[in-house]
Each structure stands twice: as C-alpha cells, then as structure tokens.
Amino acid sequence: MSPKLTVFFIVEPPEYEVMACFLAASLREQFGDQVALVGYCPDTKIDQVSPDVREILRRMGCDLRPFPVEGRFDPPYPHGNKILATMERRDTEFSAFFDSDILCLRPNRVENIIKDGCVSLTPAASMIWGKAETWNLIYEACGMKIPEDRIKLMRQKGDRGRIPYFSSGLFSFPEQYRSAEGKSFPEVWMEVAQTLDAHPDVPWKRPYLDQISLPLAIQRSGLQWNILPEEQHFILGGKLRGDALPEGREIYTVHYRIMKVLKETGLTQGARKMLKKHAGVKRIDQALRVGLPDESDDE
C-alpha cells in the first residue's frame, strides 16, 4: 500500500544534514513504512551535501531533492526554506514538515498527526517577537480580520487566551486541498509571507516571518487548525533547558534545537542506535568507510 503521508525536512550542510540523518532514522523507527521520506536542500548547496549523508539517506529510502532559493525572498531568508520546501510537489494525500532538529521517540501512527480539512500543529512555545497589539497591523496588512479563536501557548503562564500563534517546526496539511481561489495551502502561505515581508510597517519580521504568517495562511486558505497534543511536538531547550523528559507522559517527538540538548537529556544513545539500525552506522562519517570498529554508545 502506498504511503498516505510524506514527511519532509531540510537537509542543509553542514549542521542540518547531520541532524536530518538522525531525524530520518527516528522516523523510520517510529513510523516504519507508513510514511515516505523526502529531504530537501537549497539548490545552491545541493553539491555540498556530503557523500556519507547521501548514502545514509539512500539506505533509509529517503529522497534527496533540491529546491530553488534565488530571488524568492529579498533579501535571502534562510528560515523561509521550510516555506519553499513546502511548496514543492509531493503525490501523497498529506504531507508533514519536521524541523531537522527533531527526534521521534516512540512508535507512532500517521492518523495521530493528520486530519482532513486541517493544518495539524502545536502552539508556539512563546511569543517574543512582538506584542499582542502587533497582530492588528499584521492582519490589516493582509486585509484580514483577527480570528475569534484563542489558544494557550505551550510555555505560557496563566490561562488567558492568546491570538492563535503556532510553531512552524512540525505541521501537516492535505496536499490536494485547494482554496476558493484554486490555491494550495503552501501557495497561500508563501503569498501571505511575502505580503508581510514587503510591508514596511510590520515590525520584527525576520526571523519570525514563517510563524507570523502561518496562522493567517491557514485562515486565508479556508483550512482549520487542528491543535496536536504537546506529546506530538515536545519542545526542549528554552525554559526547559537541562530538564529531563517529564515522567509519566508518552512523548512521541522532541524538538531539541541543538545537538548538545540531546546529550543533556540522555537521548544521544537512542538516536545513534536508531541510526545504526536503519543506516548501519552510529556516526554520519562512517557511511562510506569499511572495516572500522564500532563506536561506543555512550559518546
């Protein structure tokens, strides 16, 4: 049976190509063949992806594809690569974007992270790029009204509802959906992002443009937002830096941000075991070497 969901992510040298290999291994471990895997690299850097990374992704059945970046944001906007990758064509019913610095920890099902007619995602951990009243300007710039819905941010203190603001680190959407104007969700997202990016009065656009534009894109496309449980996208670092994973909670996916946090949280060994199982190596630079002794698990 063909996969219903494609999980895609950024493979960009030097740092994100390494993280992408661990992510791909964890996706294969926890989702198996339920999902197709695609790693996207900016076309200006595709020739810099290491042969070891290419081989590891090949072993895990992950396609490596370039996407164009020149002139699509002016000036260049690296955080916008996820928007550009989202716009690439995929043939599955749903697609899900995962930031490269994510690791899947326990067996999961596609149905847990998708929903018809919705963009499925989690609230942002916090909002540090502006004030609540800034939303008035942002919605006005796009000719839209602020939605009546209110949500609670992931690390928010108190129960006061906030204007919807989501993490762009993990989200899924229906690929074949089209808006009333005949546009896909990625096309609408790019349109909204470029509108805000070009508006001279919108403050703090970079590097937060992807997340600022995301709730507006969902609303304009005619889709709904489906808020996933925090266990499906548990954000480490920040206020939780140095804390162990909470006991008694079935956390499926962690967003660790930097490799050092994996070690601090005791997840490095598990990440390497998954890479060993699905790619045959525990270290990225071993993929094309022969006869090397096995690496220690506790590095």
| pLDDT tens column, 234-269 | 998 655 555 667 788 899 999 998 888 888 888 999
Q: Name the phi and psi angles at 70, rounded to 5.
A: -60, 125
The pLDDT of residue 293 is above 50: no
Q: How far apart are CA 113 and CA 200, in angstroms?
A: 36
Q: What's the chain's length in residues?
A: 299
Q: Which residues have C-beta within 8 Å of that of residue 141, sequence separation ≥ 6?
A: 195, 196, 199, 201, 202
Q: What is the mean pLDDT of residues 217-226?
A: 98
Backbone φ and ψ for 26, nearest 5 degrees, come out as: -70, -35
pLDDT (0 to 100) of residue 263: 87
Average pLDDT over residues 153-178: 91
Residue 197 confidence (pLDDT): 95
Mean pLDDT of 58-74: 96
Kindly list the structural domains of the chain, giving each domain's residue range(s) and its CATH number in brackets, ordered by start.
5-286 (3.90.550.10)
The amino acid at residue 245 is: L
Return all residues near 48 (Cβ < 8 A) that are at least 6 apart: 13, 14
> Mean of the per-residue pLDDT values for the chain?
91
Question: What is the per-residue pLDDT across 78-119, written as a single tens digit (0 to 9) for each?
Answer: 999 999 999 999 999 999 999 999 999 999 999 999 999 999
| Close Cβ partners of 202 (under 8 Å, ≥ 6 residues apart) | 137, 138, 141, 196
Q: Which residue has the higher pLDDT, 110 or 204?
A: 110
Contact (CB, 8 A) for 12 and 41? yes
**Where is pLDDT greater, at 285 or 35?**
35
User: What pLDDT is recorded for position 242?
Assistant: 56
Q: Which pLDDT band holds residue 129 (cuts at 50, 70, 90)? A: confident
The model's pTM is 0.93
The pLDDT assigned to 10 comes to 98
- How much is the pLDDT for 290? 47
Whether cis (ω within 30° of 0) applies to the bond prior to 75 is yes
* Chain segment 141-156, per-residue pLDDT in tens: 999 999 999 999 987 7
Give the mean model confidence (pLDDT) for residues 16-29: 97
